Structure 1
Amino acid sequence: MKKIKTALLSYGMSGKVFHAPFLTLHPGFELTGAWERSKDLIRQDYPNVKRYESIEELLADDVDLVVVNTPVDTHYEYAKQAIAAGKHTLVEKAFTTTAAEAKELGELAKAKGVTLTVYQNRRWDSDFLTVKQVLESGVLGDIVEAEIRFDRYNPILSPKAWKESANAGAGVLKDLGPHIIDQALALFGKPDSVFADIRTLREGSVVDDNIDILLYYPNKRVRLHAGFFNKELLPSYVLQGREGSFFKDRGDIQEDTLKTGAKPNLDNWGTEPEDKSGLLHYSQNGESIRKTIPTLKGNYYGIFDGVYNAITQGIPEPVTAQDGLLVMQIIDAAIESDKEKKAINL
């Protein structure tokens, strides 16, 4: 099996939790190291890899794939450098800060003949996979209304300064927003128009921390919400169809498990507790049926397997640059909608 030599552009929480464990689990990848400005944390966990002192040193090395897992407002700059150097590139969400930047990166990757993937790991969450399965089963009939939420209760500002400073990549719209926007697009495709209400509610905050977005389709509407004042959580996924309803809490355990230092596997990984099962209520042959739906297993291994296959087989990336561009177009439209107080056509 061909080894894809892979380097990270940082080794904070994302590198330690979301990337390195799966890159070392997958037999097709070889973790070469990470760019760390002042610390040398990666070699505490992986003693045989390198600590790069600059992005130039990293790009000059024998590296096939670069993971851009730095703050959002640096994604465009660093991804552009990696692609220009002829490296396959995996960029965390938000892909960029604007749709124009996303479009440019996609065109550059195509010109350079390298793969460009957006790290939308929430497509491989157990809860989302279960929602997708129920939707595709057709048991709900035509969907007329849906809601996807990513709620928390955390009124205190983050100690990470880059998350709370007024920069182009800060705020919940570009933090949690890309997750729920991408999930909606994966389920329902591109909407006709977007309406958004974007607010700053936490005391002392200078960035948006509460978003409400409506996606309009010819035959349905989809509401997306994320915020930090949700002490009692509502269902994270609500599907309302002509034949029934499906409710599901956000219950994926992968992130919390990875934060304990546990290593992923391909056997019993990503299994939600039974009390997180979804609720399905539908009509069939004149009978009303109400039952719980067991949750599928989640596994972020899937996105890395998809990246590997895209590089080695030339098939489309698991989350393409075009997917990332559409998410950024929705975000741009949401910002314009909030400013103009009207729906924005795409």
Structure 2
Amino acid sequence: MAAQKINVGVIGFGMSSKTFHCPLIVSSPHLQLHSIVSSGDKCTQVYPQAQHVKTSDELFASKEVQLVVITTPNELHFKLAKQAMNAGKHVVVEKPFTVTSKEAEELVELSKRTNLVCSIYQNRRWDGDFLTAKKIVEDGQLGRLVEFESHFDRFRNYVKAGWRETDAPGSGMLFDLGAHLIDQALHLFGKPYSVYAVVENQRQLKESNIDDDFTIIFRYKNGPKVLLRSSMLARQAPVLRFSLRGMDGSYVKHHLDPQEDQLKAGQTPLTPGYGIESEERWGTINADVKGLHVVGQVETLPGKYLDFYNNVAETIMKGDLSHLAVKPEQGYETIRMIEVIRQSSDEGGKTIIL
């Protein structure tokens, strides 16, 4: 007999919910999209099998829903995650986890106390380009790594409608794309020894007072310099994604992972070819590897966003929080690092020793 699927309730039906969460949930063999909280009824047109719920309180009261996914504006993450766990629900929170480290710490403790899953949707750990860069680093294919540069850039010289570009707690590029880059760096290299950062509003548009550009440098006592960069005014094509330099060579990767565009086009992880990057977008390597001088392309590993949700489901089924890939403690570390980055920038680019 097949195992019973975990019923999932999603709060919100905006871009994140429609593009990422709902398509991945319905693609998982372990999950069932049970309910969607939305002010409108468009969600029922796209997912007629799911119940349309008007309020989060109604969702929390449901005895059938076991996992709640929160895709609301950032400043509501903490309140809703806390309410969900207090109602006995496992939780996935869209990144950023919270808007302060104090809030994040409270959710960490609540997860421990209730033995409930509390995870953060850091899907970019499963980008094909990051998986490839990670393997190159871990396998030592460039020798001793001295520099790891990671970009997540866009070109938008106007204000896009929606809450993400309003001056509110948790808004701006640092909490948005920065949360991904910081999480990837911490996942790969751990906590840095020192942090230097400049966070700016370069567009200076009257309608938007958010930060839209940042440069962050993590330094490690026995590791590489890690440079994290994002700009809303990067019009070059193709955009740089990774530049890795080691004692034995370099690896350079342009273009972003294809999964987001594939999901927006209506594909799912069950679609043939999903997550596969075309050859012309592969990165290049020039390095001495095991006695051979290797120059050429490196096939990008397949992207696997579905692995995030399958891991959450398996953790719930096992009842073992140590199995969780993106732990709430890691969410706390990312938010705490954002606060340190803000401090460095606010103090004129001061290097903060951790």
What TM-score bracket applies, with the shorter chain setting the length?
Answer: over 0.9
**Alpha-carbon contact 2:268-2:274 (below 8 Å) kept:** no
Partner residue in 1 for 2:300: 295
The one-letter code sitting in structure 2 at the alignment partner of 1:257 is: Q
- 5+ residue gaps, structure 1: none
Q: Following the alignment from structure 1 to structure 2, what is the Cα–Cα distance between the partners of residues 272 and 183?
A: 20
Closer, same or farther: CA 176–309 of 1 in aligned 2, 3 Å: same
Which one of 97, 111, 116 corresponds to residue 114 of structure 1?
A: 116
Tell me by how many angstroms 1:139 deviates.
Answer: 1.2
**Alpha-carbon contact 1:127-1:249 (below 8 Å) kept:** no
TM-score by length of 1: 0.96
RMSD: 1.4
Q: Following the alignment from structure 1 to structure 2, what is the Cα–Cα distance between the partners of residues 245 and 262?
A: 34
Q: Following the alignment from structure 1 to structure 2, what is the Cα–Cα distance between the partners of residues 200 and 140?
A: 36
**Alpha-carbon contact 2:38-2:52 (below 8 Å) kept:** yes
Q: How does 1:78-97 map to 2 (within 5 A)?
A: 78-97=80-99
Partner residue in 1 for 2:72: 70
The one-letter code sitting in structure 1 at the alignment partner of 2:119 is: T
Which one of 137, 141, 144 corresponds to residue 142 of structure 1?
A: 144
Q: How does 1:1-346 map to 2 (within 5 A)?
A: 1-37=3-39, 39-61=40-62, 62-160=64-162, 162-202=163-203, 203-204=205-206, 205-219=208-222, 220-233=224-237, 234-265=239-270, 267-284=272-289, 288-313=293-318, 314=320, 315-341=322-348, 342-346=350-354
* Deviation per residue, 1:305-327 (Å, 9 max, x gap): 11011111114211110111111
Tell me by how many angstroms 1:328 deviates.
Answer: 0.8
Q: Following the alignment from structure 1 to structure 2, what is the Cα–Cα distance between the partners of residues 115 and 321?
A: 9
**Alpha-carbon contact 2:262-2:274 (below 8 Å) kept:** no
The one-letter code sitting in structure 2 at the alignment partner of 1:299 is: K
Q: Following the alignment from structure 2 to structure 1, what is the Cα–Cα distance between the partners of residues 291 and 93?
A: 49
**Alpha-carbon contact 1:237-1:250 (below 8 Å) kept:** no
- The percent identity for this pair of structures is 38
Tell me by how many angstroms 1:292 deviates.
Answer: 0.8
Q: Following the alignment from structure 1 to structure 2, what is the Cα–Cα distance between the partners of residues 47 and 103?
A: 37
* Deviation per residue, 1:175-198 (Å, 9 max, x gap): 100111111112211111211100
The one-letter code sitting in structure 1 at the alignment partner of 2:253 is: K
Tell me by how many angstroms 1:104 deviates.
Answer: 0.7
* Deviation per residue, 1:263-288 (Å, 9 max, x gap): 33175321111111111111246764
- 5+ residue gaps, structure 2: none
Aligned residues: 344
Aligned residue for 1:171, secondary structure, equals: coil
